[in-house]
Amino acid sequence: MPDVIRPATLHDAIQAWAIRREAVLAQCARHYPMPDLIRWTEGELPSSYAELVAKCFHVVERDGAVIATGTVNLDSGQLDAIFVASRHSGQGVGKAIMNHLEQLARQQGLGVLTLKATLNAAPFYRRCGFVGEAVSEYCSPRGISLACVPMQKSLAEG
């Protein structure tokens, strides 16, 4: 059965939170101190995150299970929460959710997408057409500062 990309529901929030935690701990470990990653991902699912998932996220579902998440702010063009379950990494799932979110942005008439990439994810985003090399700082809502790469992609045809 092919993967399905669909708007998330409140029911998806638990899986989205688990994928986020697992992806951060597994995929960011070579680029950031583990204590920072644990602090970034610790704790139970906050109700505010669950509400955000239900309101803004899209998910990739395979065989009834959520395996990836992502969101795009259709006012600002900011992409966020692009996470793929590690066991599905390298299978084109991240590219599929990115293409889906980009299509939503194009339909909305946006000209540019932006994001703040973790150091480990910046090469993936470059392969998706994003540009950006400078390292900046991301301040998480949990009070941690992490190095990131601000990136953007023009959606102009041509």
Chunked mean pLDDT (size 10), the chain, 158 residues: 93 96 92 91 92 97 96 96 93 96 96 96 96 89 86 85
Q: Which residue, 108, 98, 4, is CA-closest to 12?
A: 4
What pLDDT was estimated at residue 140?
A: 76
The Cα–Cα gap between 78 and 140 comes to 16
For the chain, helix, strand, coil in percent to 5 are 40, 30, 30
Question: Which helix H or strand E contains 70, and what residues bound it?
Answer: strand 65-72
pTM: 0.91
Task: Walk me through the domains of the chain, giving residue ranges and CATH numbers.
Answer: 4-154 (3.40.630.30)
Confidence at residue 113, expressed as pLDDT on a 0 to 100 scale: 98
In three-state secondary structure terms, 29 is coil
Residue 112 phi/psi, 5-degree rounding, is -145, 140
Distance set, CA 70 to CA 34, 122, 132, 158 (Å):
24, 16, 20, 26
